[in-house]
Structure 1
Amino acid sequence: MLRFKYVIWAIALIIMTGCKTSPSTDEIAVPNSASIGVPSSQSEEIVTSSVAADESTVPAQVEAYNVVPGEFNLYPRDTNGWDKNGWSLISPSKDSRLIYVSSSTGDDDTAEVYALRDVRAAEDPGRVKPFKTISAAMNSAREGYPDWVLLLKGDVWEVDYNTDLKAGRSVTERSVFGSYGVVGSRPIVKVDSSAGLTIWVDKSNIVVRGITFYAYKRDPESSDFIGWGSVEDSIGIRIYSKKGSVRGSILFEGNDLNYFSKGIEIAGKGDVLDMVVRRNSIRNSYSEKSHSQGISATHVSMLLEENVFDHNGWYKQQVGGGNEMSEGQATMFNHNTYFSNSFNTQFIRNIFLRSSSIQNKWTAEAVSDSKTNSIKSYELLMEDNVYVGGEIGISAGGNLDYGTGPRWKDISIKNNVMLGIGRDQPTNRNLGWSIDANDWDGGLICGNYLLHTDNAFVNNLYGIRLSGHSNRVAISENTIHGLIMPRPEGDLAAIAITDEPKADIIISQNNVQLRDSKMHIIVADQLDSIVFRDNIYLSSLDREEWFGSLGEVYDIEEWRLRSGDNNSTVGPVSFLEPKRTFETYLLSIGLSGSIDEFSAHASNQSEGNWNADLTAPSILRYIREAYGDLKCSQ
Structure 2
Amino acid sequence: MALTRTTLHGCVALCVMVCGAQTLHALPRDANGWTIFTPSTDTVKIYVSSSVGDDAFNGLMPDPDGAGGGPKRTVAEGLKLLRPQQPDWLLLRRGDTWTDPGSLNVPRKLDKSLGFDIGGGRAANEPQIVAAYGSSPERPLLRTSTPVVNIVGNGVTRFVAWVGLHCYAFTRDPASPDFATTLSATGYVIPRHNPNGFRILGHASGWTGDFLIEDCVIDFFDGGITCQTNMRNMAVRRCIITNSYNGQFPDSNNGYPDRSQGIFCIDTLGLLVEECLLYHNGWNATMGYGMSIYSHNMYLSTDINPCRVIGNIACGAGSNGGQMRAGGIADNNLFLRNPIGLFLSGDPNGAEEGINTCINNVFVEANDIVNNQGEVARRGVGLDIKRKPLGFYKGNICLDRLSARQQAGIRCTEDPITTAPPILVTGNIVRNWNNASGQGIEVPPELVNDFILTGNVVDGKDQAGNPVVFPDPNRNMDTYMNHLGIGGGWEEFIRRAAARPWGQWPREFSADGFNDYIREGFGMDQKTAASYVLIH
TM range (shorter): 0.7 to 0.9
Task: Return the offset for 1:103.
Answer: 0.7
Deviation at 1:596, TM superposition (A): 4.0
C-alpha displacement of 1:504: 5.5
Provide the residue aligned with 1:273 in structure 2: 232
1:305, distance to aligned residue in structure 2 (A): 1.0
C-alpha distance in 1 between matches for 2:310 and 2:19 = 14
Larger CA deviation: 222-231 vs 329-338: 222-231
Distance (Å, rounded) in 2 between the aligned partners of 1:425 and 1:335: 14
Residue 414 of structure 1: how far off its partner (Å): 0.4
Q: Which has the larger radius of gyration?
A: 1
Which residue number in structure 2 is paired with residue 481 of structure 1? 431
CA distance in 1, matches of 2:152, 2:84: 12
Partner of 2:494 in structure 1? 599
Tell me if the contact between 1:160 and 1:192 (Cα under 8 Å) persists in the aligned partners: no
Task: Indicate whether 1:210 and 2:172 are aligned.
Answer: no
Cα pair distance change 1:223/1:442, threshold 3 Å: same
Secondary structure at 2:482 match in 1? helix
Q: Which one of 41, 44, 49 corresponds to residue 94 of structure 1?
A: 41
Aligned equivalent of 1:13: none
Counterpart position of 2:271? 302
Correspondence list, 1:548-559, <5 A = none
Deviation of 1:583 (Å):
3.1
Could you tell me which residue of structure 2 aligns to residue 532 of structure 1? none
* Displacement of 1:425: 5.4
Residue 160 to residue 177, structure 1, CA distance change in 2 (3 Å): closer
For structure 1, which segment, 576-585 or 207-216, has the greater mean C-alpha deviation from structure 2 after superposition?
A: 576-585
Alignment CA distance shift 1:333-1:508 (3 Å): same
Measure how far apart 1:478 and its partner are: 0.4
Which of 310, 328, 337 is the aligned partner of 1:389?
A: 337
Is the helix fraction higher in 1 or 2?
1
Cα distance in structure 1, aligned partners of 2:338 and 2:429: 20
The verdict on how the C-alpha distance between 1:306 and 1:296 changes in structure 2, with shifts beyond 3 A counting, is: same
- Residue 498 of structure 1: aligned partner: 444
Choose from 241, 244, 266 the match for 1:282: 241
Q: More deviation in 303-312 or 504-513?
A: 504-513
Give CA-to-partner distance per residue, 1:320-376, whole Å, 9 cap, x none. Answer: xxxxxx63321110000001111111111111111110011122xxxxxxxxxxxxx
Residue of structure 1 in register with 2:455 after alignment: 509
Deviates more, 1:589-598 or 1:344-353: 589-598
Show the counterpart of 1:256: 217
* 1:223 equivalent in alignment to 2:223: no
Tell me, yes or no, if structure 1 residue 175 matches structure 2 residue 119. Answer: no
Q: Helix, strand or coil for the counterpart of 1:569?
A: coil
Pairwise CA RMSD of aligned residues? 2.9
Q: Contact between 2:291 and 2:369, CA under 8 Å: does it hold in 1?
A: no
Give 1:232-631 correspondences, 5 Å limit. Answer: 232-268=193-229, 270=230, 272-290=231-249, 291-300=259-268, 301-316=270-285, 327-341=288-302, 342-363=304-325, 377=326, 380-397=328-345, 409-422=354-367, 428-455=376-403, 457-470=404-417, 471-472=420-421, 473-483=423-433, 488=436, 493-498=439-444, 505-513=451-459, 536-537=461-462, 568-606=463-501, 608-629=503-524
Q: Give the letter for the 1:181 counterpart.
A: G
Q: 1:508 is matched by which residue type in structure 2?
A: T
Change (3 A) 1:289 1:113: closer
Letter of the aligned partner of 1:255 in structure 2?
Answer: C
Q: Which runs of 5+ in 2 are unaligned?
A: 1-15, 108-119, 182-188, 250-258, 529-536
- The aligned amino acid for 2:500 is Q
Displacement of 1:76: 7.2
> How many residue pairs align between the two structures?
470
In structure 1, the gaps of 5 or more residues are 1-66, 318-325, 364-376, 515-535, 538-567
Question: Are the aligned partners of 1:446 and 1:631 in contact in 2 as well (CA < 8 Å)?
Answer: no
Q: CA deviation at 1:125?
A: 7.5
SS at match of 1:601: helix
- Contact residue 210 and residue 232 of structure 2 kept, 8 A: yes
Deviations 1:525-575 (A, max 9, x none): xxxxxxxxxxx44xxxxxxxxxxxxxxxxxxxxxxxxxxxxxx52133233
Note if contact 1:164-1:200 (Cα within 8 Å) is conserved in structure 2: no
Give 1:103's aligned residue: 50
1:453 aligned counterpart, secondary structure: coil
Deviations 1:562-608 (A, max 9, x none): xxxxxx52133233333311233223223332444333322343455
- TM-score, normalised by the number of residues in structure 1: 0.69
Q: CA deviation at 1:431?
A: 1.4
SS of residue matched to 1:483 = coil
CA distance in 1, matches of 2:80, 2:405: 54
Alpha-carbon contact 1:75-1:171 (below 8 Å) kept:
yes
Code of the residue aligned with 2:245 in structure 1: it is Y
Instruction: Give the match for residue 150 of structure 2.
Output: 198
**Aligned with residue 83 of structure 1, among 30, 35, 56:** 30
Change (3 A) 1:510 1:573: same
Q: Secondary structure at the match of 1:229?
A: strand
Counterpart-to-counterpart distance in 2, 1:632 and 1:418: 16
Contact (CA 8 Å) 2:319, 2:369: kept in 1 or not? no
Identical residues among aligned pairs (%)? 26
Higher relative contact order (CA 8 A, sep 6+): 2
Paired with 1:354 and 1:73, the residues of 2 have a C-alpha distance of 36
Maintained 8 Å contact 2:46/2:78: yes
Q: Note the alpha carbon deviations across 1:296-332, whole angstroms, 9 max, x for none.
A: 0001211111111111111229xxxxxxxx6332111
> How far apart, CA to CA, are the structure 1 residues paired with 2:295 and 2:398?
22
Contact 2:363–2:397 under 8 Å retained in 1 = yes
